Structure 1
């Protein structure tokens, strides 16, 4: 190939690279545009917001954030969200990892059927289950006198059930890559089943554990539909539910609603940025395995 041809090829590749980069930047800006709208309007008064929703605010005052926090009862809602998220994820990870391990190691027809049931439940939309679920939880409350409605414990219980299928699916694929010889060696050394799992198997599941944790944090923290069905009292509201206080029957306080939405998503953004490298490691490890 002549020098002229090489130069043409190089220029062609450079042009394609520039066009691709521009397209990626444009897509990123489109994706981040709603966040920009929420951010700039959270600092505006109602009149300024209605005047031009795209303009930069005249002054960056946090007065609307303070009002939003007071109206949302932010600290109480934050503590409720933290309790529900942390406890739900803790139980999901422990129970799902144990379940996946046993389904892989007890390789018979029953374990395959159970695993397929877990996978099948991932395909069922929540909207088709929410009314029967509420009726069942109401029956448990009225008949068995177990407080399932309007309690954080009842919401945690339902989160565990809805989050188990995906977690079992992810753990199941990773457990297959763990050599059985390691567990056999631990058993020969006198380790029981419980010790084999916690000392040998579970530490090796760290990439998948972190991936499940991140996905479930984003889901549970931002979930609105299930908590709105389960929680009715203001004292038990999570952060997404507390933002509903800005939407009245006749008026909507859009500026404070925007501030409340920013307060809702900031903890998840911080958590995601801190755990971003673990997401990449978890996905890469799962792909390799």
Structure 2
């Protein structure tokens, strides 16, 4: 029996290592090839660089107009996340604290919306926003609110079901109104769920290319993924610069994930289980 348990344990470890290597391998290729010249990449894509070079990074930094592109990505990502957290946390509070058939129907509608792929509503959505002249940063923030609110409401409602109503009642007896109860008592207790919503949406918005490519049409508002696409020309691709640009682009989101990762699992489990 002990041998079977030991075999099962080591088998799971081996499978985990294999899966980890499969996931890590693309990042290895991106990072290693970002230190190669264009010729070196074509000569040996999988191997280590023969003569490592750092010239790709300053060149990519300049051609990306990285500071401007970074600020555009930061404004789009940060602004979208801010309104998502504000509106969906309030919606989750209202739905969880007012049980009725209407609330259940609205919650069910949010849950169903998670199953709708963006590609199926992409053309009419962009056409509608274009008709009312709401493209670029303002339009994309509102679109992200609509696209990201379903998962956020689902997590917030689940988490709030684990918060006793007695806290609300005690605060109201002490003189708080509903908005004060939400802001000073409920929202601080939802920190793990809020961090989870922030991280999941930040990864999505920061790396998104499809929606910005069809919504943002002003040169000075291009995000990092849009600017990175310029390295892929019609007749040639500057792989060495493109890979260096990709490394520069993923560094901020990796830093955010590392800082907040300890809250993510708790937030997902609170929103999905309770």
Structure 1-normalised TM-score?
A: 0.90
Query: Given the alignment of the two structures, is residue 156 of structure 1 paired with residue 148 of structure 2, yes or no?
Result: no
Pair 103,20 (structure 1): closer, same or farther in 2 beyond 3 Å: closer
Query: Given the alignment of the two structures, is residue 40 of structure 1 paired with residue 5 of structure 2, yes or no?
Result: no
Distance in 1 of aligned mates of 2:137 and 2:237: 28
Query: Given the alignment of the two structures, is residue 102 of structure 1 paired with residue 102 of structure 2, yes or no?
Result: no
The answer for the alignment partner of 1:237 in structure 2 is 222
Query: Given the alignment of the two structures, is residue 195 of structure 1 paired with residue 187 of structure 2, yes or no?
Result: no
Pair 284,123 (structure 1): closer, same or farther in 2 beyond 3 Å: closer
Report the count of equivalent residues: 274
The CA deviation at 1:271 is 1.3
The Cα offsets for residues 220-274 of structure 1, whole Å up to 9 and x where unpaired, read as: 1111111111012221111111110101111111111111111111211121111
Alignment of structure 1 residues 1-289 onto 2, 5 Å:
9-141=1-133, 148-149=134-135, 151-286=136-271, 289=274
Distance in 1 of aligned mates of 2:102 and 2:36: 60
Partner of 2:132, secondary structure, is helix
Contact 1:64 1:256 in 2 (8 A): yes
Distance in 2 of aligned mates of 1:127 and 1:98: 28
What root-mean-square deviation, in Å, do the aligned CA atoms of Structure 1 and Structure 2 show?
1.5
Distance in 2 of aligned mates of 1:14 and 1:177: 38
Structure 2-normalised TM-score?
A: 0.95
Contact 1:100 1:175 in 2 (8 A): yes
The CA deviation at 1:287 is 5.8
Pair 12,196 (structure 1): closer, same or farther in 2 beyond 3 Å: closer
Pair 159,287 (structure 1): closer, same or farther in 2 beyond 3 Å: closer
Contact 1:208 1:286 in 2 (8 A): yes
Distance in 2 of aligned mates of 1:111 and 1:287: 18
- Please say which structure displays the higher CA radius of gyration: 1
Distance in 1 of aligned mates of 2:272 and 2:101: 26
Distance in 1 of aligned mates of 2:12 and 2:171: 52
Contact 2:213 2:226 in 1 (8 A): yes
Unaligned runs of 5+ in 1: 1-8, 142-147
